[in-house]
Structure 1
């Protein structure tokens, strides 16, 4: 079985599905197709009784550069152009809640998901891997909760789900600095379970774990996930609602324009708090 989308491929073999991010943005950046297709793909896999585990990875050298700012510019641009008016802010809020739900579709999937991460995993990429059950990485993997450097509060899952994965100090260090960390550091702080020499070895380990899970009784596996998820669902949901409201109210700023402009011009940003 094989399904092909614009932003990913889905292949199923012997009760294990592999979802591979394919772009079309550079570095598997997350554009409109990704946000539309991700929940569809995971809902189909969740409903397929022949799929008992899912491996999630990226094509090429990187897992994901995160949000495709060029392709998604209209999402933030309309709010910036609208100033303080309610309509563009309400439209942004609705769009953001939809994007949050795309990542939540991965977290809510009853079938266990194992991520294999190589190269860069930035911003939205971290949002995505925070929604899976198990994370493996290659030695060249690099992670960054980089939204703060663009004058954005990370709003599609990282700040809601990483508190269940990382200690508070490590999470705050990543989210407040926007710094890059390597795979060894990610393993040390618990962001990933294990690190492997290269992408091929990481992916092989993810498939091995997926096959091990797939050999277990499927209803019990779903039960384990359900019981574990129940402990955090309400907290995650409340956090997502709050950050959507916060960003709808406060994200439009001169600093946001400066952050994005500086990124495209490849220069340090100069923020003024406006």
Structure 2
């Protein structure tokens, strides 16, 4: 593709593109560059007829720590300091919709996508893998829908797409507790298809599956994905619109300030429901 991005690298070989998260935040955390670049990256891959499958993975020891709080704190602090006024909430609402667009770009890409997850996959990382077609993991992978621990309702995809992937009780357990689960449990509940010994084996398997898909007739593959997606488009879209409005109304709270402060200060939070 020739373009360099701040949040990912893109390598194309034999009809398969590999998109690797590279940060720049710690643990491939998702900062401003990620949210700005993902729509462009996936629109270009979608338009590239030579690309018939996409593998998505993370660099280093982890897939992604999720939202880069230090880098993205500005949009939150504006809402928190805005009190009851409408403008900061309207601006925040627009920010949520824009961030949803970065994950939507992955979900709406007509090219099949396969994630290979190793190490941590937290919060925004789960939002991202909820948007792909097939999920593989290494034995050391750990997953967490952790937003609740920050006093946030996850709003960029997990709560909209995981109901189509997990059974209701498993999803509610993850979302309401914010607990960490290991790869074996993720496989058991259907969050990932298969667990491999290590990151290299998981990535190799993702590339093998991508090659299998790429060998199939591309218009037929696109048709299968389109027909499968048709069943979920309206449900996911309505859920994303609803949570954006919900968070614009209710996200600013003393508990959010406490959740973020506790995270930065590495102490247990004390939530009061205010």
Task: State TM-score, norm by structure 2.
Answer: 0.99
Cα distance, 1:3 vs structure 2 = 3.9
Quick one: distance in 1 between partners of 2:179 and 2:2?
37
Q: Secondary structure at the match of 2:12?
A: strand
**1:134 aligned partner:** 134
**2:250 aligned partner:** 250
Instruction: Say if 1:3 and 1:9, in contact at 8 Å, map to a contact too.
Output: no
Quick one: distance in 2 between partners of 1:141 and 1:103?
21
**1:7 aligned partner:** 7
Quick one: distance in 1 between partners of 2:222 and 2:75?
36
1:75 aligns with 2:113: no
1:180 aligns with 2:184: no
**2:264 aligned partner:** 264
**2:216 aligned partner:** 216
Quick one: distance in 1 between partners of 2:49 and 2:60?
30
1:179-227 deviation line (CA, Å, top 9, x unaligned): 0000000000000000000000000000000000000000000000000
Q: Secondary structure at the match of 1:143?
A: strand
Cα distance, 1:75 vs structure 2 = 1.1
Instruction: Say if 1:3 and 1:11, in contact at 8 Å, map to a contact too.
Output: no
**2:236 aligned partner:** 236
Quick one: distance in 2 between partners of 1:3 and 1:134?
26
Cα distance, 1:4 vs structure 2 = 2.4
Task: State TM-score, norm by structure 1.
Answer: 0.99
Quick one: distance in 2 between partners of 1:72 and 1:237?
24
Quick one: distance in 2 between partners of 1:244 and 1:103?
14
Quick one: distance in 2 between partners of 1:258 and 1:245?
22
1:105 aligns with 2:78: no
Quote the RMSD (CA, aligned, Å): 0.6
Q: Secondary structure at the match of 1:152?
A: coil
1:60 aligns with 2:60: yes
Quick one: distance in 2 between partners of 1:104 and 1:73?
22
Q: How many residues align?
A: 274
1:196 aligns with 2:158: no
Quick one: distance in 2 between partners of 1:3 and 1:191?
32
Q: How does 1:9-28 map to 2 (within 5 A)?
A: 9-28=9-28
Quick one: distance in 2 between partners of 1:43 and 1:213?
20
Q: How does 1:112-123 map to 2 (within 5 A)?
A: 112-123=112-123
**1:85 aligned partner:** 85
**1:125 aligned partner:** 125
Q: Secondary structure at the match of 1:71?
A: helix
**2:35 aligned partner:** 35
Quick one: distance in 1 between partners of 2:151 and 2:109?
31
Quick one: distance in 2 between partners of 1:217 and 1:267?
54
Q: Secondary structure at the match of 1:60?
A: coil
1:112-134 deviation line (CA, Å, top 9, x unaligned): 00000000000000000000000
Gaps of 5+ in 2: none
Cα distance, 1:233 vs structure 2 = 0.5
